[in-house]
């Protein structure tokens, strides 16, 4: 990939020609008396500009198409390169979203997987609450065509890449696309999956449990109790793993229950660490997490190997939020030295993210407005 993706080049071509055309017409209007005596010259020049604009549109179209005609490896590389540039502040979030917009039309299911995963990641890291509704229109515009192609229901004999793609599509459309039909479907699926239905793939079952936890409101406490009860009793390792990966609860009582129960069940160190990471990943308001963790932190640390202990500040991701970064610093800054290297890495990463995010806000508002 070059520094300028085809879609960016195409956009700049169109903008330049439109500006040139606008400037020429404006000048003609200001000097209309002079141009009245030279109508043929005006007509010829305007025609040439329109021809140039038409050629530019063809080039722009080819630029988009060239990206779609690339190999699977190059398409995936384009997305990864674009995200790295965004995180460094080298491109705007609009340009990154345009890359996803183009490659969502790819015929490669694996490219679509990367697009969906990136849409979910962007939703967590770069969006604030006020962006979510507008982002939902963007998500639906990009992903509904793929869902129509793969279908909502699993069928026997499908390749693994389509099984994974469907699960992630449904997750993204339910959570960020705010698709009530998909949310209801996943909610119903979660109930069956918890009962031990082995016809549901683990990846789809996991996403169904995640959406159920995210969407749960009044019954959150009952649901989290059920998750732990099944995890403790089931002989199905896939179901147990799915439950551990679905601890996306947000109400304080459920979070407190998770902290308390995790010590009482024979979870491995890796499983306990994953539960913590999911709680911090899902909750953008993290003060309650630190409040409950303060009481049990010694127990948590004692049950973790030194290697896991040393990276805890990186597990407690602030999700590119200033308040969370401050809470992270307050929690770990006075603790033992084993945490300090990881703490500095996480704070530096968050500072970079916050800087980029602040600069991108006006552009993001403008971009998403076009989807409403």
Q: Which residue has the higher pLDDT, 235 or 49?
A: 235
The single-letter DSSP state of residue 128 is: -
Exposure string for 217-241, b = 16+ CB within 10 A, e = fewer: eeebeebbebbbebbeeeeeebbbb
Mean pLDDT of the chain: 83
pLDDT over threshold 70, residue 87: yes
Q: pLDDT of 64-85, one tens digit each? A: 458 888 889 999 999 999 999 9
Pick from 180, 123, 176, 171: nearest CA to 147? 171
Q: What is the pLDDT of residues 260-295, one digit of tens each?
A: 888 778 889 899 999 999 999 999 889 889 988 887
CA 291 from chain centre, in angstroms, equals 27
| Residue written as token pair 């890359």 | 99
Give the pLDDT of residue 10. 42
What's the gap between Cα 149 and its chain centre? 22
What six digits make up the tokens of 181?
Answer: 């039909």
| pLDDT at 362 (0 to 100) | 86
Calculate what percentage of the chain has a pLDDT beyond 70: 82
Task: Kindly tell me if the per-residue pLDDT of 195 is higher than 90.
Answer: yes
Give the highest mean pLDDT range of 191-195, 212-216, 264-268.
191-195
Domain assignments of the chain as residue spans, ordered by start: 1-69
Q: Is 198 helix (H, G, I), strand (E, B) or coil?
A: coil
The average pLDDT across 44-63 equals 42
Res 252: pLDDT: 86
Q: Rounded distance, CA 261 to CA 273, Å?
A: 14
Residue 9, pLDDT > 90, answer: no
Strands (E), 201-344: none
pLDDT above 80: residue 137: yes
How far is Cα 179 from Cα 186, in angstroms, rounded to an integer? 11
Per-residue pLDDT at 5 = 38
What is the reported pLDDT for 218? 61
Locate 290 and state its tokens: 């630190």
**Residue 171 or 356, more confident:** 171
> Looking at the whole model, is its pTM more than 0.85?
no
Report the share of the chain in percent with pLDDT over 90: 57
What is the reported pLDDT for 111?
A: 96
> Computed over its alpha carbons, how large is the radius of gyration of the chain?
25
**Residue 311 to residue 320: CA distance in whole angstroms:** 18
User: Using one digit for the tens of pLDDT, what is the confidence trace for 179-189?
Assistant: 999 999 999 99
Place of tokens 């507008």: 134
């Amino acid at each position: 990939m070059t520094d300028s993706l085809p879609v960016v080049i195409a956009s700049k071509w169109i903008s330049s020609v439109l500006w040139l055309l606008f400037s020429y017409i404006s000048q003609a209007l200001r000097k209309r008396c002079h141009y009245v005596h030279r109508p043929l010259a005006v007509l010829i020049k305007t025609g040439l500009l329109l021809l140039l604009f038409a050629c530019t549109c063809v080039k722009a179209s080819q630029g988009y198409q060239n990206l779609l005609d690339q190999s699977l490896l190059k398409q995936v590389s384009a997305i990864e390169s674009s995200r790295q540039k965004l995180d460094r502040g080298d491109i705007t979030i609009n340009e990154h979203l345009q890359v996803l917009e183009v490659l969502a039309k790819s015929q490669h299911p694996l490219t679509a997987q990367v697009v969906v995963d990136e849409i979910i990641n962007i939703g967590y890291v770069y969006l604030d609450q006020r962006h979510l509704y507008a982002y939902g229109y963007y998500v639906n515009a990009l992903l509904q065509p793929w869902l129509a192609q793969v279908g909502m229901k699993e069928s026997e004999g499908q390749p693994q890449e389509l099984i994974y793609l469907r699960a992630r599509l449904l997750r993204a459309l339910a959570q960020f696309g705010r698709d009530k039909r998909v949310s209801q479907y996943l909610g119903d699926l979660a109930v069956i999956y918890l009962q031990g239905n082995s016809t549901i793939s683990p990846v789809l079952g996991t996403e169904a449990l995640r959406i159920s936890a995210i969407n749960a409101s009044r019954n959150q406490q009952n649901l989290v109790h059920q998750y732990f009860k099944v995890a403790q009793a089931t002989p199905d390792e896939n179901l147990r793993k799915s439950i551990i990966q679905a601890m996306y609860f947000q109400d304080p009582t459920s979070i407190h229950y998770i902290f308390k129960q995790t010590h009482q069940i024979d979870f491995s160190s890796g499983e306990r660490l994953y539960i913590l990471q999911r709680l911090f990943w899902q909750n953008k308001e993290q003060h309650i997490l630190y409040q409950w963790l303060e009481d049990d932190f010694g127990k948590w640390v004692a049950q973790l190997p030194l290697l896991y202990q040393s990276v805890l500040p990186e597990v407690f991701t602030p999700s590119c939020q200033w308040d969370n970064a401050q809470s992270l610093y307050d929690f770990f800054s006075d603790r033992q030295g084993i945490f300090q290297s990881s703490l500095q890495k996480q704070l530096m990463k968050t500072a970079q993210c916050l800087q980029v995010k602040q600069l991108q806000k006006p552009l993001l508002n403008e971009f998403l407005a076009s989807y409403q």
